[in-house]
Amino acid sequence: MEIKDKVVLITGASRGIGRELVRAFLEAGASRVYAGARRPGDKTDDARIVPIELDVSSSESIQKAQKRAADTQILVNNAGVLEFGNLLEAPRDSFRRNLEVNLWGNLDMDRAFVPVLESNGGGGIVNILTLLSLVSAPGMSAYNASKAAAWSVALSLRATLSGRGIEVFNVFPGAVDTDMLAGVEMPKTSASAVANSIVRGVASGAEDIFPDPMSESVYATWKQDHKAVEKQFASM
Ligand SMILES: NC(=O)c1ccc[n+]([C@@H]2O[C@H](COP(=O)([O-])OP(=O)(O)OC[C@H]3O[C@@H](n4cnc5c(N)ncnc54)[C@H](OP(=O)(O)O)[C@@H]3O)[C@@H](O)[C@H]2O)c1
């Protein structure tokens, strides 16, 4: 989809992939980017960046953002949390916290902003999911569950919006070098490279985006033999 002159709202833009997406959308020609953050700064070095307060786990905060960013044309559901823990031992509250942001946060943002996008003539919704939406790693059970459910919501969203002028893009990164995976030793792609790849994917109209070498390679195998990928991730 065309990004030039579009108004974009990105959740979780304070750091990591979200912060790089702000830059990448501007470089692709967006006219304004609302940088949603729980604790936004009040200054930016670029007048096209508009910091707004946005906690996706708070309906009050979402309502305020909906009014503040009423000219949004592309919504990027990027905010996310990851808590480690295996299925039998992770506290139930850990599941609740992961679902709160990764599932309900996306769903509530979609419900609030579909009418906004429609009133602005249509647009796009970009969901930052993960390879762990497709396959589970046992040490991240709450995150897996939340992101698999978020993928399901994203697919329902795409079906629901079919023919209504809003494109839905689902993004499945592999390991990215941000705070989220700090302390996990494995090959990771930089957040800036991943953000560039996501924006290129959206611009090219790719519905499903695998934005780094790990995600491309795992997806290629998954398409051929998802049981092999299941076994590989189970041993992580
Ligand atoms: N890193 C990876 O390897 C990887 C791989 C696949 C997918 N992803 C996905 O990519 C997205 C971005 O992750 P990241 O790697 O950039 O992680 P990150 O560096 O930990 O950043 C997470 C972002 O989400 C925000 N956030 C958390 N809870 C929020 C809430 N309730 N409301 C609004 N914002 C909230 C954080 O804001 P604060 O600064 O206020 O905490 C921060 O801006 C996530 O959806 C994640 O699941 C990451």
Return all residues near 41 (Cβ < 8 A) that are at least 6 apart.
51
Name which of 229, 137, 213, 207 is nearest 176 in CA terms.
213
Domain count, the chain: 1
Q: For the domain that residue 105 is a member of, what is the CATH number?
A: 3.40.50.720
C-beta of residue 83 within 8 angstroms of C-beta of residue 98? yes
Rounded to two decimals, the pTM is 0.98
Q: Residue 71 domain-assigned?
A: yes
Which string of DSSP letters, residue by residue, matches 56-93? TT-HHHHHHHHHHTTT--EEEE-------B-TTTS-HH
Q: Residue 2 domain-assigned?
A: no
Q: Does any ligand 1 atom lie closer than 6 A to the CB of residue 108? A: no
Q: Residue 1 domain-assigned?
A: no
Q: Tell me which residue has its CA closest to atom 42 in ligand 1.
A: 12
What's the domain range around 24? Answer: 7-234
Q: Does any ligand 1 atom lie closer than 6 A to the CB of residue 61? A: no
**Tens-of-pLDDT digits for all 236 residues of the chain?**
999 999 999 999 999 999 999 999 999 999 999 999 999 987 888 999 999 999 999 999 999 999 999 999 999 999 999 999 999 999 999 999 999 999 999 999 999 999 999 999 999 999 999 999 999 999 999 999 999 999 999 999 999 999 999 999 999 999 999 999 998 999 999 999 999 999 999 999 999 999 999 999 999 999 999 999 999 999 88
